[in-house]
Amino acid sequence: MLLKGRTGLILGVANRRSLAWAAAKAVAGEGARLALTCRSERIEENVRELAHEIDHPLILRCDVTQDADLDRMAETLRRSFGALDFVIHAVAFADRDDLTGRFLDTTRAGYHLAQDVSAYSLTAVARRVAPLMVGRDGSIVTLTYLGGERVVQNYNVMGVAKAALDMSVRYLAADLGPEQIRVNAISAGPVRTLAASGIRGLSRLLSFHRAHAPLRRNTALEDIGNTALFLVSHLSRGVTGEVIHVDNGFHVLGLAGLDTES
């Protein structure tokens, strides 16, 4: 039981196909006590139904764009758990209209929304939970994507937000390292989740990855869950400031690595 006696917070569980839910199952299976957040009443119903599978975690309503919600979440965690050992941040959002066409046409409001939810929220959460993690070999993990490093068609403003998220991981790792809190990211290959359904051409993207990734398969939810488990456990206690790609090797390829005839 890698996480027996450890307590964690997971943000972003929406349904059974969520990357956050894959992480929740993996860490709960190793003994972690959990709190899960959800943004709305509708999603909370889904989360409460899933919660029966992982020993009834604490469930909190939290909109990461609202400081009052974040403050209330941190206070509830302090009262309920006393301390916190890890956080898995799996929150991202952009307007659907900004995930088609040209990035050039992104609106100011759309840019702000994507950055606020998908990038700044990690910093906002970390600032509030860090006092609960000091001296406990804490770990903060977020989820990113290759579209923050390279241009991916129709990813647009979300790619720019993920680039900001990736850099936030490095700065937070530097800031929190002296308090023995590690900060890392998992760059997941494309997975058919509720969040990914807003990306136009997802089926074609999945097929392309499956055909060209060195391991010739798509990323599985369990792949992400198991990597999250590694990053919040003592097995990765020397790892911080990293973006770990879990995409069956797709990120190593340049044009020369692709079969351009297919």
Q: Which residues are catalytic?
A: 145, 155
Question: DSSP state, 190?
Answer: P
Buried b (16+ CB within 10 A) or exposed e, 95-109: beebbeeebeebeee
Measure the CA dihedral 161/166/171/174, to 10°.
160
**How deeply is 213 buried, as exposed, middle or buried, from its count of CB atoms within 10 A (0-12, 13-18, 19+)?**
buried
As a whole number of angstroms, the distance between CA 249 and CA 262 comes to 19
As a whole number of angstroms, the distance between CA 131 and CA 46 comes to 30
Contact 227, 233 (CB under 8 A): no
